[in-house]
Amino acid sequence: MKDKKQFKEGQVALNDKNNGKTEKKINIMRIYALASTLGFQVAAPIVIGILGGQYLDRKLGTEPWLMIVCLFLGLAASITGLLKLVQNIFGEGK
């Protein structure tokens, strides 16, 4: 008979696909927190990059080049922030 671990209410288990052992328990509220911040984490740097680039383009007369550069900087910032957030939640790299 398999050994079943007891989990508190509001927790889920992540299974290791290789051997089926339960590695971690993650609180469901942490999963909801992750889901609620993902959209903001991705959208905010991109929007700030676009708006900042447009502002600089108008001021310096370089349309559309600074907007494009700032857009890519915003994309890089959102991907970096997203990776750090996921690593923090799932504890990778420790």
pLDDT at 57 over 70: yes
With both helix axes pointing from N to C terminus, report the angle between 65-90 and 28-60 in degrees, rounded to the nearest 10.
160
How far is the C-alpha of 48 from the C-alpha of 13, rounded, in Å?
A: 37
pLDDT, tens digit, for every residue of 29-56? 777 877 788 888 899 999 999 999 999 9
Residue 15 φ/ψ, nearest 5 degrees: -100, 140
How far is the C-alpha of 59 from the C-alpha of 69, rounded, in Å?
A: 15
Average confidence (pLDDT) over 4-20: 56
Spell out the domain ranges in the chain: 11-90
Pairing of strands 11-15, 22-27: antiparallel
**What is the three-class DSSP state of 72?**
helix
